[in-house]
């Protein structure tokens, strides 16, 4: 009998990880949105409807890259879907999520070193993103987002660690899709609620609360029988 996070619970956890991590990283997300916005012509920037559609297209591309990464991680984790191997994967995922929580709370700044994992791949694809600037069409915005979605980020890697525990390529991809959707409110809202989001992202108490939530998610990953949304697989 194997007990682990139900897929629906994984999606929910990934969504909230995306929601809270995007608030934490609003500075980085905001700078990328700023790069995209200021690359547009003055005419496009002045048209709020077109501007919103381009920003949304960028985010759809970014989320698509997360889903692709989730599928890759899901495929690589297939040998670890049963027995002790899956348990080890759960423990590793929980350790990464707990470390991310400590990092967000300001208790473990060295967690940022995990971003070196994807730095080499990022150096290969980052020039393709720069070639898409200035962005002139929605298609360009989608492609721009698909490139910048691979920007090294410890919190994206945290979501990927959760996705790896689903034991299925499709569910792993869907978990990352849920993570991406969780990031949408903060990232799209940068231009609408900039001051509020900036204050939240800098508030020490808010960061600590988010960090504790990440640690709770980690405990549910390591001790899934604590999860009220669990299912049993015989």
In a domain, 41, yes or no: yes
- pTM for this prediction: 0.85
In a domain, 222, yes or no: no
pLDDT of residue 194: 52
pLDDT of residue 29: 64
What is the residue-level pLDDT of the chain in tens, covering all 234 positions?
343 445 567 788 899 888 887 766 666 666 677 777 777 777 777 788 888 888 889 999 999 999 999 999 999 999 988 888 888 898 999 999 999 999 989 899 899 889 888 888 999 999 998 898 888 889 999 999 999 899 898 989 999 999 998 888 999 999 999 999 998 877 776 655 555 666 766 778 888 988 998 898 888 777 765 555 454 444
In a domain, 229, yes or no: no
Q: How many domains does the chain have?
A: 1
Full residue range of the structural domain in which residue 148 is found: 8-93+115-197
Supply the DSSP string of the chain, one letter for each residue: -EEE--HHHHHHHHHHHHHHHHHHTHHHHHHHHHHHHHTS-HHHHH-HHHHHHHHHHHHHHHHHHHHHHHHHHHHHTGGGSSHHHHHHHHHHHHHHHHHHHHHHTTS-GGGGGGGGGGHHHHHHHHHHHHHTPSP-SHHHHHHHHHHHTTS--HHHHHHHHHHHTT-SHHHHHHHHHHHHHHHHHHHHGGGTSHHHHHHHHH-HHHHHHHHHHHHHHHHHHHSGGG-TT-EEE-
In a domain, 15, yes or no: yes
């Amino acid at each position: 009998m194997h007990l682990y996070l139900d897929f629906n619970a994984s999606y929910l956890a990934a969504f909230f990880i995306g929601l809270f991590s995007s608030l934490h990283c609003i500075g980085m997300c905001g700078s990328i949105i700023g790069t995209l916005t200021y690359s547009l012509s003055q005419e496009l920037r002045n048209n709020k409807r077109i501007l919103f559609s381009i920003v949304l297209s960028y985010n759809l591309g970014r989320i698509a890259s997360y889903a692709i990464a989730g599928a890759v991680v899901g495929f690589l984790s297939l040998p670890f879907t049963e027995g002790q191997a899956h348990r080890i994967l759960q423990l590793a995922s929980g350790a990464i999520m707990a470390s991310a929580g400590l990092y967000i709370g300001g208790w473990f700044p060295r967690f940022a070193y995990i971003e070196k994992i994807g730095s080499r791949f990022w150096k290969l694809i980052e020039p393709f993103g720069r070639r898409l600037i200035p962005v002139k069409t929605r298609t360009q915005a989608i492609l721009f987002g698909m490139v910048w979605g691979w920007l090294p980020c410890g919190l994206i890697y945290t979501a990927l660690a959760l996705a790896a525990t689903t034991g299925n390529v499709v569910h792993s991809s869907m978990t990352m899709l849920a993570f991406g959707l969780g990031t949408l409110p903060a990232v799209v809202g940068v231009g609408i609620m900039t001051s509020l989001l900036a204050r939240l992202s800098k508030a020490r108490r808010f960061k600590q609360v988010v960090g504790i939530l990440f640690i709770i998610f980690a405990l549910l990953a390591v001790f899934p029988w604590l999860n009220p949304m669990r299912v049993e697989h015989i």
